[in-house]
Amino acid sequence: MRRTRILIRIIVITAAVIPAVGGLLLSMQFYEIVSRVYPGCGGESANTPDAFTVADLDMPAYWMPNYEDIRLPSRDAPLQIAAFWIPADDQPADNSTVIITHGYSACRRSGASLLPAGMLHRAGFNVLVIDQRDVGDSDTEDGRSAAGTEEYRDLLGAWDWLQTAQGIPRQRIGLFGYSLGGAITINAAGAESGVQALWTDSAFARLDDVIENALRNNRWLLPLRPFGILLGRITSGDNLYSPSPIEQAGLIGSRPFALVHGTPDQVVPYAQMMLLVQAASDGGSTPETWTTDSQHVASMVDYREEYEHRLIAFFTASLTPPSASTLGG
């Protein structure tokens, strides 16, 4: 009888432990999938500002031969961020400058980073193109993406560097970010009221929505989401939910804010832009929007001339000081 009772207890304990261990392992795998990043830039590692391709097309008209490969401090010292500093060929009198921030699984060498840099540069802007922590040539912190909740401090470190090392007034510095970089750009603008203007391409509003979209063919994993996110917070200290772009968009206020998104986007659904627009509007902003029929971050290639025209017009209006004739008569 005693042996029977012991056997029953073992069976009960095993029946409870195995699902728990299995759930923990699956949650760990979930967090691994949504957060793991690697140094370097994959197939685009050979790109440099003076020679790069976009969508397998040569873009010599946008190449930038005069640049510096630099490192600068993140606001999360002692992390060092890699960047391309590309001063304008003819230094603009107002020092207008744009910082470009890349998306997930991309870097400063990606075509989607260097093409808008080339557009801005040939229009007379200084450009600073950065790598986020843990990717590209920047310092590795933990080898995981924090979904923009930490990386925005790398962007603000670059914003600080332009002011302290290059003497550029903050009123002359704009931010450009695509995909995850767009979310990072919004988080940075929400955290730093001194940011003058921001342009985002295919940015997300809520991480949960993007994860759910990414797992649309593996919906059985969705119940693991809260446990995976919690596990990430415990193991790495990353809170992937805060700050959130949809919340930070409400803090932009009257500052110039432009959003681009394609309706068929399969990575970050178009509805995410509309959530950002609503949040910004609720906070007193009047964002500029441009809707295309392009896939994720493809508008800059599909509509290159119009994209360039809109981009230059936006930052020219946002960063150029008003003429004397408009200052009080």
Stretch 180-186: mean pLDDT: 98
Q: How many CB atoms lie within 10 A of CB 7?
A: 10
In 3-state terms, what secondary structure has residue 262?
Answer: strand
Q: How many CB atoms lie within 10 A of CB 236?
A: 17
Q: Which two tokens stand for residue 167?
A: 């003497």
Instruction: Return the pLDDT at 3.
Output: 54
Q: What is the pLDDT of residues 61-119, one digit of tens each?
A: 999 999 999 999 999 999 999 999 999 987 655 789 999 999 998 999 999 999 999 99
Q: What is the pLDDT of residues 121-162, one digit of tens each?
A: 999 999 999 999 999 999 999 888 888 999 999 999 999 999
Instruction: Return the pLDDT at 15.
Output: 41
- Determine which of 32-36, 73-77, 107-111, 180-184 has the lowest per-residue pLDDT on average: 32-36
CA distance 50 to 93: 24
Q: Which two tokens stand for residue 211?
A: 């994860």
CA distance 133 to 284: 32
Closest CA to 161 of 117, 128, 198: 128
DSSP label at residue 66: S
Q: What is the pLDDT of residues 105-122, one digit of tens each?
A: 899 999 999 999 999 999
Q: Which domains does the chain have, with CATH numbers?
A: 1-35+215-238 (no CATH), 39-206+244-320 (3.40.50.1820)
Q: Identify the residue with better confidence: 41 or 251.
A: 251
Looking at this protein, which amino acid is placed at residue 81?
A: I
Stretch 19-44: mean pLDDT: 62
Mean pLDDT of the chain: 86
Taking phi first (over 0 means left), then psi (-120 to 50 degrees means alpha), and beta for anything else, what does residue 86 get?
Answer: beta
User: Strands 80-86 and 126-130, how do they pair?
Assistant: antiparallel
Q: Which residues contact 78 (CB under 8 A, 6 or more apart)?
A: 139
Q: Which two tokens stand for residue 33?
A: 């999938």
User: pTM for the complete prediction?
Assistant: 0.87
In degrees, to the nearest 5, what angle opens at C-alpha 306 toward C-alphas 107 and 104? Answer: 20
Q: Which helix (H) or strand (E) holds 87?
A: none
In 3-state terms, what secondary structure has residue 225?
Answer: helix
Find the distance separating the first CA and the last CA of the chain, reported in whole Å: 101
User: Strands 68-73 and 80-86, how do they pair?
Assistant: antiparallel
Indicate whether 33 pLDDT > 80.
no
CA distance 317 to 242: 32
Kindly list the strands in the beta sheet with 97-101, ordered across the sheet, starting from the edge strand earlier in the chain.
68-73, 80-86, 126-130, 97-101, 173-178, 197-201, 257-262, 288-292
The Cα-based distances of 312 to 29, 42, 88, 174 in angstroms read: 43, 30, 14, 11
